[in-house]
Amino acid sequence: MTLTRRRLLGFCLAVLFAIAISHPCGGQAAAPQPALAQAAVPAPANPQQAYTLPPDKLAKAIALSRIRNILSIAGSIWGLAVLWLLLATRAAAGLEGWAGRVFRRRWLQGLLFFAVFLVIITLASLPLDWFGQHVSRAYGISVQSWGGWFGDQAKALGLSLLIGAPVLLLFNWIVRRWPRRYWLGAWVVTLPLLVLSIFVGPLLEPIFNKFEPLEKTNPALVQQLEKVAARTGTNIPPSRMFLMKASLKTNGLNAYVSGIGSTKRIVVWDTTAGRIPDDEVLFVFAHESGHYVLNHIPKMLAIAALGLFFVYWACAGFAAWLARRFGTRWRLGGGDGASALSSRAGFVVLLFAISLAGFLLEPASNAMSRHFEHQADVYGQEAIHGIVPDPQKTAVAAFNKLGEAWLEDPNPSPFIEFWLFSHPSVQQRANFAEHYDPWANGGHGEFFDK
């Protein structure tokens, strides 16, 4: 998932921040000094590997990968530390008291508290985000001006305040209304909000990027995409196919399907259309279509629903223990652990508990994601069979172009891949694609007979 889509998902899923499952993360990568890109060139890649990089780009990819990994882990830990510091320094309690003095109505106090809280969280993560953007620019991935980047940060904060503050207020009200079983009420409310976020995602994308009908500039590509859409049954008409002006911000490549129901659409970046062959764009689109055809979205929602049930339950107990153990020191107010959590400051304890759970469960979440991504790779390669001359070469070429554009390390650490990667490594995906030919000797594919 690209940085732009990750940011959009984060804000359309304001509920996920509200319950703190997701944690702040830096940008695509962050910046070493340019000299780091001149590190010693590693030994040439194994000639049997399907994904390779020229020596100069390989050195940059390895250096950049290290920085990305450090930023990702540091961002997670820093996000937890910020929440803890807000409690340990009694800043959360002080903010609650100040909001109470500004407004008499409790719901206005809550909106003010959570709005300021979101601003604090955003400002706390800004240095890491800035460093990530600096690195992305230094390595030639981002071409966005600093004015444009800060403008996007301001827009993101605006969305966070507009959506996130009311959602946080809603969950805080649930905790206050049902102090003993609030975790169950929060779980029930979370599920429709997750579905709603997928629906509204495409409606928020134009806030950050410019779009125009794909048919206007690439009519031949639209005709080819319609063939894949017909074969996969995604039923996306040309009126829902868009070109995104990604070249204003990045040199990266991407194409994707987003939304659900009436908001479902195809998006091709202008860095992709015309820069790589149409056959490879078709493969990327077919992969994205696979997520819809194979019902990955409802499957992930079902798994998330089951997992969140137990996460909420466990975190409610852990948060109550924290409130009993540190409540007086943190000035949470209230009586026992459960009732103390109903205060604004006490709610931050719950956010910390669920943030910690999200960090610890990240490998499990990513393992599920990698499984679905591999299925989509298989589906995508089968979907273009008979549409492009050689699906194997097309898929391998697409992975090489994507990996080179984003400077993906051909040989990432197995531990890093286990903990941080939501997709299989580019090397694994390219190696699989190179050898996947189910139609050899009269066979048939897993998802398509011919």
Compute the distance between CA of residue 220 and CA of residue 413 in angstroms, rounded to an integer: 41
pLDDT tens digits for range 70-122? 999 999 999 999 999 999 999 999 999 999 999 999 999 999 999 999 999 99
Residue 37 has pLDDT above 50, yes or no: no
Tabulate helix, strand, coil % of the chain (nearest 5). Answer: 70, 5, 25
pLDDT tens digits for range 292-350? 999 998 999 899 999 999 999 999 999 999 999 999 999 987 656 667 898 999 999 99
Cα diameter, the chain: 77
Closest by alpha carbon to 293, among 337, 347, 230?
A: 230
pLDDT tens digits for range 269-295? 999 987 899 999 999 999 999 999 999
CATH superfamily of 216-295+366-442: Metalloproteases ("zincins"), catalytic domain (3.30.2010.10)
HSE of 46 in the Cβ direction (CA atoms, 13 Å)?
7
Angle, CA 200 vertex, CA 194 and CA 206 arms, to 5°: 140
- pLDDT reported for residue 41: 36
Edge to edge, what strands does the sheet with 265-269 contain?
211-213, 241-244, 265-269, 255-258
Q: What is the mean pLDDT of the chain?
A: 87
Please tell me the pTM assigned to this model: 0.86
SS3 of 100-134: HHHCCCHHHHHHHHHHHHHHHHHHHHHHHHHHHHH
- pLDDT reported for residue 1: 37
Please, which residues have CB within 8 angstroms of residue 14's CB and are 6 or more apart in sequence? 159, 160, 163, 164, 167, 197
- pLDDT reported for residue 18: 37
Compute the distance between CA of residue 126 and CA of residue 141 in angstroms, rounded to an integer: 19
- pLDDT reported for residue 334: 60
pLDDT tens digits for range 144-162? 999 999 999 999 999 999 9
Kindly tell me the burial class for residue 140, based on how many C-beta atoms sit within 10 Å of its own C-beta (0-12, 13-18, 19 or more). Answer: middle
Which is higher by pLDDT, 10 or 144? 144
Compute the distance between CA of residue 174 and CA of residue 122 in angstroms, rounded to an integer: 25
Which is higher by pLDDT, 445 or 137? 137
Residue 45 has pLDDT above 60, yes or no: no
N-to-C CA span, the chain: 30
256 - beta bridge partners? 267
Residue 386 has pLDDT above 70, yes or no: yes
Would you list the domain boundaries of the chain?
3-38+48-209+297-358, 216-295+366-442
3-state secondary structure of 228: helix
- pLDDT reported for residue 355: 94
Instruction: Report which residue type is found at 70.
Output: I
Compute the distance between CA of residue 50 and CA of residue 60 in angstroms, rounded to an integer: 19
- pLDDT reported for residue 375: 97
pLDDT tens digits for range 197-238? 989 999 999 999 999 999 998 999 999 999 999 999 988 889
